[in-house]
Structure 1
Amino acid sequence: MRPTWRPALLTILVLAVTVVTVALSLVVGKAAAEPAPVVTIGRPAPETFIAPRFEVFVDEEATESNRETARLNTEVQYKRNPESANQVTVRLLSFFEAVRQAAIPIPPAESTDPIASTSTTVAASEETQQTTTTSTTLPRPEQAVQVESVQASGFLVLGDVVDEFVAIYNRDLDRGLVEEPVVFGTIEDETLDLANQLLADGIKEVDLAGVRQTLVADPPFIFVAGLPEEERDVVQSTISRLVAAELRSNLERDDAATAALEESNASSVTDVTIVFREGDTIVSRGELVSSVQEEAIAFYDLLVPEEGPRYLATTILGALAVLLAAFFLWRVAPAQWTEPRHFALLGVLLVLAALAARIPEIVTAENTQAGYVLPAMVLGYLAAILFDPRTATLMAIPVAFFTGIATGDPGLTVFAAGATVTPIAFVSSVSSRRELRVAVALSAVTLAPLGAATEWMFGAGETMGRNVAAAAGFAFLGGVVGGLVAQGLLSFLENLFRVTTTLTLLDLTDRNHPALRLVEDKAPGTFNHSILVGTMAGKAARAIGADPLLAQAAAYYHDIGKTEHPEFFIENQFGVSNPHDELPPEESAEIVRSHVLDGLRLARQFRLPKEVTDGIRMHHGTGLMRFFYHKALETDPAVDPELFRHRGIRPNRKEMAIVMLCDAVEGAARALSQREDPTPDSLRKLVESIVGEKVDDGQLDESALTFGDLTRLKDSLVEALVGYYHARIHYPGFPQAAAK
């Protein structure tokens, strides 16, 4: 259960928020009579500023720009990776070893006769090649086999470089056999020297492709002693291609060193300074203000402090207006005070009033009479529809307060109070959208002479006649615009604060409403019953001073749940058997009971307001379904009557009690008319019986109906039923039943 203190606490919180918001609305952006110049970096200077004395200022923006340029111009630092050079050397050595190994003769797998052999040693440059010879010397593998062997050793990607080196090595071996100089060892040394020389210079990752391309396209001169002249170009190109293929980058970016150098370069940049001597122009009017100019203006204290409004006094007056309105509401309408949602709505209207009070100071720069366009009528219009005429009249106090605070104009203050009250009489009793538009037009027409009279009384000047006419025109314009704005705000505020207004109920009682169309299409008998109940409920509500429109709307929708299973309700059974005849009474009771839950679900679907939804929830209360209960008694005299009660809520307001009584009375009267011709006496007995039954069952205990109300209700119900079941002429030639 929600604590009883919580609504009051929420209301106090809403009140505090309203006070603060109103105060801010009145003071924020309040301009002084002579606004001080405002200097903004990057915007034109409002005037020319002169330096009063000598001063040096550091142009931080230009200095930082120079420092950033120094950082950007800093050369990227690199560090060597020795592992890259080692990997290149190992790969090259492995390649030459693979070439040598590929040329070694392969002995036969088996030998049947030992062969006497002699050994011949062949010397090579910086290496000893031992070749075993016999009367039959073992041949070297075919060159293609040697190439495959080298490639299989991990040098497949070198392509024809392997072919060239295998050929070079084989020619070198052939020269060794005839005791000519061998050069393969020298070629190996020159290859390693070339690679090491390039790595010593350092190679970046971004430069690696270019170095390789240069090596291949323009091989460096390589001298190999003993190499035949005709082979020099081939060997030189082959060495370059091998080195290019195996070369790797060995310089890596050193971010730490680069960053340190960047900061060192930036710190070495000298500050950019600007000197202002006495009488120098800091910035000319219309010139874009730089950061150093703005700093100098502030340093010299050249901006005259703005003489702001009296914020404290404005805040106090605004707060007093809100508190006065709250106190008045608490005294005359305590129910509004205890409902935080409604009080929050009032707070929104007060904030709108504060904002509206600021409009005259915006529009009166060129024409003082333009202040009469003040949309004070909006507040009275909204309050009269969303609340009641008393609360709407209350709005005149804060609106006048706020206008006086914001404008200091006594004429506009009086006009604001009158404009707030003007629409109340016109909109308080509207019953259609057309009447609402007429009310707006009448309010605007009334505001015209009000504005003219106010200007005539408080205005001055030689052009008084013109001023009065202008005031009347602006007041009329404000009334028209205010009415349009209020109609737009009304729907938004209704939905935001879930307030059910007269206009909401008017929309709900429109027979073209989708929910009513649904009832008419799916359950026509229920639709006719609901319309008749609504007519009776509206009449009965007027008889006891309740809200007839609410009672009528609640009655229209009270049986909307029957559209889910219309065939189970007698009013929709046209010439067909009653399905309840085949069902046990307990099941029938459950089906009938479910139309309340179905109705609540459909109410949420169609976004019906709570006040109307209460008619669905409360129109049966916790009453007993006597028909099915008595049917159950026929088979079980000890049956529990609680099994046949509705599980709704007892009516807690007069309008819902009226819907309950009208629903029961209309159904009973219809049943009576099917058995006999109703008479005033029989209808009165019927009404007395049903009302007495509801009272005895406690269904009306929470509805606040008095015995006097019940008496007037019964008279109204009898009058409505007699009017509906009046006697009819028996036309010749028509069946007797048609006369009923």
Structure 2
Amino acid sequence: MSFKKTVTNFITNAKGFKFLPLIVYILLGAIMFSSMYSNVKPEKLNLELLEISEQTIRSPYTIEDKASTEKKQKDAENEVEDVYTLNTDYAANRVDLVTSIFESVTEVNEEIEDDYTKRFQAWEKEPEEERGEAPKKETLEGKLKLLNSKLPKDITSALSGSVFTALLEVSSDQLSRAKDSTVTAVNNIMNTRIPASDIENAKSKIDQELKYANVDSNVKQAITELAKYAVIQNVFFDTEATEEKKQQARDAVESIRILQGQIIVEEGDLITKEIYRQLQLLGFLNSGNALQPFIGLLLLILLIISAVIYYFQEGIPKSRNRNTYVLIFGIIFSVTLVLMKTISLFQQIDYSEIGYIVPVAMGPLLVRLLINERVAIVSSMIFAVCGSIIFNEGITGTLNFSIGLYYLFSSLAGVLFLSKYNRRGKILQAGLFVSFVNIIINASILLLKNGSYTQLEVGSYLIMAVVSGIIAAVLTIGLLPFFEAGFGILSTMRLIELSNPNHPLLRKILTETPGTYHHSVMVANLSDSACEAIGANGLLARVASYYHDIGKTKRPQFFIENQLNIDNPHDKIAPQLSKNIIISHATDGAEYLRKHKMPKEFIDIAEQHHGTTLLKFFYFKAKENSEHEIAESEYRYPGPKAQTKESAIIGIADSVEAAVRSLPNPTPAKIKSLVTSIISDRLQDGQFNECDITLKELDIVAKSLCETLHGFFHSRIEYPDSTGQKVKEA
């Protein structure tokens, strides 16, 4: 058995295998995991403190260096000076204290004087013979005793007795001047900042303040001592303010981060204690979290597979064999990913930007041509994500966003360009368009990086961008026929090949049934225009029309278009037999196409183009010739009814072409009436109940058929021949 036949049999069996999608999805996940495994696997490095590094190590991700940040915050905190607050109330309090002492001295003097006056007045009032010794004024000791009773003990103990003695002995005038001088001096000094370390210096300033006091020397000494006593510390350490200032300093420190791609240690450098700490922080020395990258990769793959499953469930109609398209997608995806991984291995030659040459657009282009546009767009996104991991520039666990962006736009450019074009020549144009978009993306990436590049580097980027797009187109053109032949996919390229008049089946129709061939060509023109008018697949309708009546090659003489210069054989046989022969051309044609491995769409159209319509001519003929009732169902085509718009339109075009050809003098009015009648009959007969064609679309189809038929059966001008008789010229 040949390899080709083995592959064909495998694909044929796989199409009906129930669990094929599950197997394909599992294999896709395994391929993705194996291709990106090495790019997320944590490096196992033999690193020892105070040894020489055998390689350059970069940070695989961005992370905050909390220890360095904490150290920097501590340094900033230590630089903050303690906050000392001036207590302005202390100045007033100490002035009040001095004032109170002077008032106490004045009060003692007044009390002593009042007491002496009272005693003296009482003595004078006594009779002279009874008077004793005249009262004496209170002694200094008595005054001191009274003053001590009026002042707090801490004041009397802190000040020497000479201070109070001098104040008690001085005149009221001097006492007043002494008070003013002392209060002024204390107020002036206490309103300055006096920390604990500066008290003695502040007290020494009292001498200067009282130097010119207008009092006796002994009084000056007394008030100097009193003023110095009054001067105390008025600046104190503020705990809350200091802590607040330190916190502000900590908050002002920006966190220190080790950036992704940052060199931790270069090859040949000593692994210092600080470098060793950073390596430990980044996990190079800890194997405890080695599973985390793989779990992350599995979650990403699970998300990707889920998206693919969803789009295949929603984007592929049930009428199409989903197994076929799942298998096609799996092969395309695997080939693209393996190609991507293979090229990524060349990063080992110190040229990390080799990823820009990968013809990643090939995958989405093939998906677009063989499956549909939605799945192709999803594929573009998936390839962009996978590429950003595979080409992560040797830094495990990171993403190369530049290459991911490049792959995304490159793939989408090809898919969107082919959204309106399906011809083989357009694939190469799509590749050139991809190259153009690649150049734009590469230029934008280089400019965004704001780096300095040599002319050689810029040139290499541009060359890779162009080569990527062109190779993608070439590979797409080269691989497309293998998928079409292997899976029986009816792509545009395949349809164009099947429309070649040299195809064996078309040559068979042409040589054996030339009338049917001409009829099929006319139906192809009609159905192509009508399908394009409503947005259906006009090319499919055209090529399928060439083959839709191939069943007539089995008994060509029984069909009127092939009865040239012969009698109609139906005139000599029973209506029942005629009916069987006519109806069998649909089933014979489907069987013939199936035997020659023709596309399923052609087989379906061959079976469905007559639906379950009634053979009216032979039905009524049978009723005339029969004495008993004839069931209408016996003279209907077996069907099935049209399942697609293309099949419905080909059926209408087939009836219309045959009917118009039988008109003796087809005019636009007659053609319009005939087309409308045929569509109306099929509609009332329920022939469109199983396809999604709408009444509005049927109206558009009718107009399109009329316009095309007017071109076929246009009016002709009559010219006289050489004998004088008129002939018509087309």
CA contact (8 A) 1:31 1:309 kept: no
Matched, 1:614 2:598: no
Q: Secondary structure at the match of 2:507?
A: helix
Aligned to 1:663: 654
CA contact (8 A) 2:579 2:618 kept: yes
Aligned to 1:376: 360
C-alpha displacement of 1:736: 5.8
**Range moving further from structure 2, 650-659 or 342-351:** 342-351
Matched, 1:442 2:433: yes
TM (norm. structure 2) is 0.58
CA contact (8 A) 1:411 1:458 kept: no
CA contact (8 A) 1:329 1:337 kept: no
Cα deviation per residue 1:430-457 (whole Å; 9 max; x = unaligned)?
A: 3533333333333334434433443454
- Counterparts of 1:688 and 1:498, CA distance in 2: 37
Aligned to 1:523: 513
- Counterparts of 1:522 and 1:8, CA distance in 2: 40
- Give the aligned residue type for 2:359: P
- Counterparts of 2:459 and 2:719, CA distance in 1: 68
Cα deviation per residue 1:319-368 (whole Å; 9 max; x = unaligned)?
A: 32232344456566676999343234334343344324314422333323
Decide whether aligned partners of structure 1 residues 566 and 333 sit closer, same or farther in structure 2, where only a CA change above 3 A counts: closer
- Provide the aligned length of Structure 1 versus Structure 2: 464
CA contact (8 A) 1:357 1:402 kept: no
Give matches, 1:409-420, under 5 Å: 409-420=400-411
- Counterparts of 2:562 and 2:713, CA distance in 1: 20
CA contact (8 A) 2:347 2:354 kept: yes
Matched, 1:574 2:558: no
- Counterparts of 1:627 and 1:478, CA distance in 2: 63
Matched, 1:423 2:411: no
Aligned to 1:351: 334
- Counterparts of 1:459 and 1:473, CA distance in 2: 20
- Give the aligned residue type for 1:597: T
- Counterparts of 1:31 and 1:481, CA distance in 2: 29
Matched, 1:724 2:715: no
CA contact (8 A) 1:378 1:482 kept: yes
Decide whether aligned partners of structure 1 residues 31 and 424 sit closer, same or farther in structure 2, where only a CA change above 3 A counts: closer
CA contact (8 A) 2:24 2:330 kept: yes
Aligned to 1:643: 634
Aligned to 1:405: 389
Aligned to 1:693: 681
- Give the aligned residue type for 1:668: A
C-alpha displacement of 1:19: 4.7
Matched, 1:392 2:376: yes
CA contact (8 A) 1:30 1:309 kept: no
Q: Secondary structure at the match of 1:731?
A: strand
The percent identity for this pair of structures is: 28
- Give the aligned residue type for 1:657: A
- Counterparts of 1:372 and 1:560, CA distance in 2: 51
Cα deviation per residue 1:685-740 (whole Å; 9 max; x = unaligned)?
A: 11122112112222111122221122111112222222211101112118767458
Give matches, 1:38-117, under 5 Å: none
Cα deviation per residue 1:668-698 (whole Å; 9 max; x = unaligned)?
A: 11111xxx21111111111122112112222
Aligned to 2:344: 361
**Range moving further from structure 2, 682-691 or 318-327:** 318-327
CA contact (8 A) 1:382 1:490 kept: yes
- Give the aligned residue type for 1:418: F
Give matches, 1:57-456, under 5 Å: 310-327=293-310, 339-366=322-349, 367-408=351-392, 409-456=400-447
Matched, 1:600 2:590: yes
- Counterparts of 1:471 and 1:544, CA distance in 2: 45
C-alpha displacement of 1:561: 1.4
- Give the aligned residue type for 1:341: T
Matched, 1:555 2:545: yes
- Counterparts of 2:564 and 2:603, CA distance in 1: 29
Decide whether aligned partners of structure 1 residues 459 and 319 sit closer, same or farther in structure 2, where only a CA change above 3 A counts: farther
C-alpha displacement of 1:426: 2.8
**Range moving further from structure 2, 615-624 or 714-723:** 714-723
CA contact (8 A) 2:719 2:729 kept: yes
Decide whether aligned partners of structure 1 residues 336 and 666 sit closer, same or farther in structure 2, where only a CA change above 3 A counts: closer
Matched, 1:513 2:497: no
Decide whether aligned partners of structure 1 residues 647 and 737 sit closer, same or farther in structure 2, where only a CA change above 3 A counts: farther
Aligned to 2:671: 683
Cα deviation per residue 1:220-245 (whole Å; 9 max; x = unaligned)?
A: xxxxxxxxxxxxxxxxxxxxxxxxxx
Aligned to 1:199: none
**Range moving further from structure 2, 580-589 or 309-318:** 309-318
Matched, 1:654 2:648: no
Q: Secondary structure at the match of 1:423?
A: helix
Cα deviation per residue 1:351-396 (whole Å; 9 max; x = unaligned)?
A: 3443243144223333233221112111221122112333322222
Cα deviation per residue 1:158-203 (whole Å; 9 max; x = unaligned)?
A: xxxxxxxxxxxxxxxxxxxxxxxxxxxxxxxxxxxxxxxxxxxxxx
Aligned to 1:20: 29
Decide whether aligned partners of structure 1 residues 365 and 432 sit closer, same or farther in structure 2, where only a CA change above 3 A counts: same
C-alpha displacement of 1:605: 3.8
Q: Secondary structure at the match of 1:574?
A: coil
Cα deviation per residue 1:399-454 (whole Å; 9 max; x = unaligned)?
A: 11111121222221111111111212332333533333333333334434433443
Cα deviation per residue 1:522-573 (whole Å; 9 max; x = unaligned)?
A: 1111111111111111111122222211222222211011122212211111
- Counterparts of 1:326 and 1:640, CA distance in 2: 49
- Counterparts of 1:590 and 1:736, CA distance in 2: 45
- Give the aligned residue type for 2:479: L
Aligned to 2:115: none
C-alpha displacement of 1:8: 13
Decide whether aligned partners of structure 1 residues 419 and 25 sit closer, same or farther in structure 2, where only a CA change above 3 A counts: farther
**Range moving further from structure 2, 663-672 or 443-452:** 443-452
- Give the aligned residue type for 2:605: G
Cα deviation per residue 1:582-630 (whole Å; 9 max; x = unaligned)?
A: 1111111111222223212321243221112211010111111122222
TM (norm. structure 1) is 0.58
CA contact (8 A) 1:14 1:344 kept: no
Aligned to 2:473: 483
CA contact (8 A) 2:509 2:553 kept: yes
**Range moving further from structure 2, 366-375 or 351-360:** 351-360
Point out the structure with max Rg over C-alpha: 2
Decide whether aligned partners of structure 1 residues 497 and 414 sit closer, same or farther in structure 2, where only a CA change above 3 A counts: same
Q: Secondary structure at the match of 2:718?
A: coil
- Counterparts of 2:497 and 2:45, CA distance in 1: 54
C-alpha displacement of 1:473: 0.7
- Give the aligned residue type for 1:407: F
Q: Structure 2: 5+ residue runs without aligned partners?
A: 1-14, 47-286, 393-399
Decide whether aligned partners of structure 1 residues 546 and 32 sit closer, same or farther in structure 2, where only a CA change above 3 A counts: closer
- Give the aligned residue type for 1:420: S
CA contact (8 A) 1:325 1:397 kept: no
- Counterparts of 1:347 and 1:585, CA distance in 2: 54
Q: Structure 1: 5+ residue runs without aligned partners?
A: 1-5, 38-303
Aligned to 1:292: none
- Give the aligned residue type for 1:364: Q
